[in-house]
Each structure stands twice: as structure tokens, then as C-alpha cells.
């Protein structure tokens, strides 16, 4: 049976619960989301896959005002520290204005639908939502 949902990126794992998976260098423990032939930190060539915590804190951000066609702007692009792993992502459920975004704010991984194809297969993206927002729901 074909999947009814597929992740937009290879490092997003949907089952059993949504989470991210990084490639960790066996030598220095540096983590990467893209495929690597060698570690950018120590040049090691052995990697293992590790799950990244779903909770984190906002390390840095920018408000994107202009985007390519089909991408709704403005939005908040962020780097989130998830247990020592720097994760790029979009902030969800946060107005794209500086007064609504605070460095160090607690965040949680969240997924969202990007739409479905003619066969009904839904593409799933990820971002981060304020941890307090998740607790309210």
C-alpha cells in the first residue's frame, strides 16, 4: 500500500511520532542533516543516524519579507537548539514581527501539510511552534 503522507525532507521521520534524524560523525559527534562523505569538523568518514530531540530553544532568527512565488511571506526563519543540535526551521503560530519572537523561547517540533498530489499523497513539512502554544491545545 503506498504511503498517504511523505516527508518533504529525508531527515523528517513521521512514524511513530514526528521527529528529525541527523547523521552524527562517529569521531567528533558533529551532526548534519544532509548526506556527507566526510565530516566538516574532523574529516571523519563514519556516521550513525541519531534522533534529534523535539524540544528546543530559539538560537537566532530572521523575518523573511520577500519569498519566491508560492511561498507565503512574511514568515520567521529560525535556528533552534534541540539538545545541542542546531536545526533550521520555520516558526509556526508566531506572528512575523520582532515583538513576538524572543531568543531562548521554548519551542517544539510541529508538522504541517504542504498539500496533496492528484493521487492523494500529502507532503508534510516541519517547523517549530512555541512550547506554551502546544500546552494550551
Query: How long a stretch of residues is the chain?
Result: 137
Burial 49-61 (b: 16+ CB within 10 A, else e): eeebebebbbeeb
Q: Give the other-Cβ count within 10 Å of 132's Cβ.
A: 11
User: Residue 2: what pLDDT?
Assistant: 59
Quick: pLDDT tens for 42-57. Answer: 999 999 999 999 999 9
Straight-line distance from the first to the last Cα atom of the chain, in angstroms, rounded to the nearest whole number: 33
Kindly list the structural domains of the chain, giving each domain's residue range(s) and its CATH number in brackets, ordered by start: 5-136 (2.40.50)
The Cα–Cα gap between 113 and 118 comes to 15
No. of helices (H) and no. of strands (E), the chain: 1, 10
Mapping DSSP to helix (H, G, I), strand (E, B) and coil, where does residue 133 land? helix
pLDDT over threshold 90, residue 136? no
The three cell numbers locating residue 100 = 513576538
Quick: pLDDT tens for 29-84. Answer: 999 999 889 999 999 999 999 999 999 999 999 999 998 998 889 999 999 999 99
Smallest Cα–Cα separation from 130: which of 68, 66, 58, 61? 58
pTM: 0.87
Amino acid at each position: 500500500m503506498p504511503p498517504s503522507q511523505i516527508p518533504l525532507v529525508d531527515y523528517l521521520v513521521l512514524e511513530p511520532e514526528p521527529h528529525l534524524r541527523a547523521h552524527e560523525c562517529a569521531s567528533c559527534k558533529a551532526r548534519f542533516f544532509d548526506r556527507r562523505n566526510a565530516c566538516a569538523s574532523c574529516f571523519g568518514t563514519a556516521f550513525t543516524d541519531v534522533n534529534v530531540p523535539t524540544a528546543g530553544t530559539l538560537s537566532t532568527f530572521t523575518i523573511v519579507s520577500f519569498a519566491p512565488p508560492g511561498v507565503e511571506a512574511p514568515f520567521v526563519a529560525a535556528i533552534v537548539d534541540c539538545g545541542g543540535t542546531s536545526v533550521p526551521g520555520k516558526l509556526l503560530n508566531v506572528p512575523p514581527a520582532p515583538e513576538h519572537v524572543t531568543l531562548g523561547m521554548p519551542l517544539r517540533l510541529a508538522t504541517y501539510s504542504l498539500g496533496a498530489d492528484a493521487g492523494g499523497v500529502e507532503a508534510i513539512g516541519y517547523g517549530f511552534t512555541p512550547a506554551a502554544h502546544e500546552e494550551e491545545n
